[in-house]
Amino acid sequence: MQDPIDTRTVQRIRRALLAWYAHNARDLPWRRTRDPYAVWVAEILLQQTRIDQGTPYFERFLAAFPTVEALARAQEDAVLKLWEGLGYYARARNLHRAARLVAFERGGRFPETAEAWQALPGIGRYTAGAIASIAFNEAVPVLDGNVKRVLARVFDIAAPIDQAATESRLWTLAGALVPPRRPGDFNQAMMELGATVCTPKTPSCAACPLRTLCEAAARGTQAERPVKGKKPATPHYEIVVAAIEKNGRFLLGKRPPSGLLGGLWEFPGGKVQAREAHEQALKREIREELGVEIRVGGLAAVVKHAYSHFKVTLNVYRCTIESGTPRPVAHSELKWVSRAQFGRYAFPKANLKFIGVL
C-alpha cells in the first residue's frame, strides 16, 4: 500500500476500528467522561506510565484536585507528593503551571483546539491532539508509541520510526485516517489496538480488526515492524548519598524547581568521580552542596535505580556534621526532618527505596 491512502481503504480502516473499539474498549476511568480537565490529567499522567500503574494515581489526583481551580490553588509540594513514584516530574510541574494559566488567566476556560492546547506548558502535539479530539471532537490525529506501531505494521513501513522523516510520514498517515465524526473514539481505538492486540512482541493478528488490511501481516513482516534505530549503551553512574543525622533528624535538600527531579526533596550527595573512593567523593559532594565537613559512618543501603536514559547505584552512608552550618548551595531549601515526618515530603523514587532502613 502506497501513500496517499485511497478513500476506500480509509473508510474500511475507520469502520473496522470503530466497530472493534465499541466492543473491546477497556473500561478505564478517564473514558467515562469528556470533561477536558479529566482527559487532560489522564493524558499527562499516562505519558511514560503503564495503565495499571497510572490508574490509581489518576483516581487519587482527581480526588485531591477535582477541578482545574483546585489544582491551580494547590501548593507545588502537594502536587509533587501525589505524583511521588511516577517519575518524569516535569509533567506534574507543567500540569500545575498550566492549571494556573487556565484558572487565573483564562477564567477557567479550556482551549478547544489542538493548536491552542499546545500553547500551555508541557503539552506537545500528541497530547494536544488527544485532548482536542476526545474532549472537543476536533478531527486531529494522535501519534504515540502504540499508534506508531499499528501504522508501521498496517503500511509495512521499513524505515526506522525514530527518524524525523518517518515520524512526519506517520503523522500524515494518522491525519488521513482520523474521521470527521467520532475522532476521539477513533484515536483511542488506535491506541487501544496497539496496547492490547498489535503489541510489540507476538501481536495477536488473528484477533485484529485490520488483519485483512495489514500489509505487514500479508507479507509476514509484522515481527520486524516497527523498525527502530540502534540505541546507544545506557550509561551507569555510581552515586554516594549522605544520610546526615542530628538529634534524631535528617538533613534534606529541595532540588531546584527546573531540571531532573525538580522540586523534590532528597538526601544530599552526587556522582563518584574516576578513581575516587566513596568516602572521599561523599565529603567532596557535601562540601560543594552544603558547605560543611562531615564524618562518614557505616553503609546504610545500596540501591539500584534506572531512569529513562541512564542507570545509577546509590550508596547511602550514615553521616554526621563535623564542622560548619549547612547552606543551600545546590538546593533551593534545606530542612531537618524526623523519620516520622518523611511521609510529608515528595522524594525521588530512588530515595524511597532506602528511607525505610534509616
The CATH number for 147's domain is 1.10.340.30
Give the chain's residues under pLDDT 50.
1-2
Q: pTM for the full model? A: 0.87
Residue 245 lies in a domain: yes
My answer on whether 171 and 55 are in the same domain is yes
pLDDT value of position 1: 43
Residue 229 lies in a domain: no
What is the 3 state secondary structure string of the chain? CCCCCCHHHHHHHHHHHHHHHHHHCCCCHHHHCCCHHHHHHHHHHCCCCCHHHHHHHHHHHHHHCCCHHHHHHCCHHHHHHHHCCCCCCHHHHHHHHHHHHHHHHCCCCCCCCHHHHCCCCCCCHHHHHHHHHHHHCCCCCCCCHHHHHHHHHHCCCCCCCCCHHHHHHHHHHHHHHCCCCCHHHHHHHHHHHHHHCCCCCCCCHHHCCCCCCCHHHHHCCHHHCCCCCCCCCCCEEEEEEEEEEECCEEEEEECCCCCCCCCCEECCEEECCCCCCHHHHHHHHHHHHHCCEEEEEEEEEEEEEECCCCEEEEEEEEEEEEECCCCCCCCCEEEEEEHHHHHHCCCCHHHHCCHHHC
Under a CB-based contact definition with an 8 Å cutoff, are residues 147 and 194 in contact?
A: yes
Domain end point (choices 199, 224, 249): 224
Domain total for the chain? 2
**What is the residue type of 352?**
L
My answer on whether 294 and 349 are in the same domain is yes
Unique residue bearing C-alpha cell 469528556 = 34
**Is 43 one of the annotated active-site residues of the chain?**
yes
My answer on whether 335 and 193 are in the same domain is no
My answer on whether 274 and 197 are in the same domain is no
CB atoms within 10 A of CB 285: 22
Residue 1 lies in a domain: no
d(CA 128, CA 141): 9
Residue 176 lies in a domain: yes
My answer on whether 149 and 258 are in the same domain is no
Under a CB-based contact definition with an 8 Å cutoff, are residues 134 and 141 in contact?
A: no
My answer on whether 27 and 88 are in the same domain is yes
My answer on whether 79 and 205 are in the same domain is yes
Residue 75 lies in a domain: yes
Domain end point (choices 168, 189, 224): 224
Domain end point (choices 224, 255, 284): 224
d(CA 181, CA 137): 8
My answer on whether 188 and 310 are in the same domain is no
Residue 142 lies in a domain: yes
My answer on whether 57 and 85 are in the same domain is yes
Residue in 43, 84, 192, 285 annotated catalytic: 43
My answer on whether 213 and 326 are in the same domain is no
Residue 357: all three cell numbers together: 532502613
pLDDT value of position 4: 65
CATH code, domain carrying 310: 3.90.79.10
Residue 230 lies in a domain: no
Range of the domain at 104: 7-224
**CA of 356: how far to CAs of 204, 264, 300, 346, in Å?**
43, 18, 10, 14
Q: Is the link from the previous residue into 4 a cis peptide, with omega within 30 of 0?
A: yes
My answer on whether 213 and 241 are in the same domain is no
My answer on whether 211 and 248 are in the same domain is no
pLDDT value of position 229: 87
